[in-house]
Amino acid sequence: MLTQYLKAALRNAHYEILPDDGQYYGEIAACNGVYATAPSLEDCRDELEGVLEEWVLFRVHRNLALPVIDGVELSVKEETV
């Protein structure tokens, strides 16, 4: 399920070339704060994927909600002892 979620989020990424320095900028609008810049599109995609993974893990650790992306929902269930 995690892999499906990450793939869905990355399919929704938006990329552009920054006019100031020619760097590539990528972001995933549904995931507030998930963005990256790099000198090439491939590097930007790789960086964005890493940022997304850290963002998801942070939100899971803090028990924060994750947006549903393309119908893929990632939720953490509390463990009962």
Q: How far is it, in rounded angstroms, from Cα 30 to Cα 52?
A: 11
Q: Give the Cα separation of 46 and 13 in Å (integer).
A: 12
The confidence score (pLDDT) of residue 75 equals: 82
**For every one of its 81 residues, what pLDDT tens digit does the chain have, with 9 covering 90 and above?**
899 999 999 999 999 999 999 999 999 999 999 999 999 999 999 999 999 999 999 999 999 999 999 999 998 776 666
Which H helix or E strand runs over 48? Answer: helix 41-61
Query: Own/partner pairs for 24-28, CB < 8 Å, 24+ apart?
Result: 28/52
Architecture of domain 2-61: 2-Layer Sandwich (3.30)
Residue 25 identity (one-letter amino acid): Y
Q: Work out the angle at residue 49's Cα, subtended by the Cα atoms of residues 48 and 50, and round it to the nearest 5 degrees.
A: 90
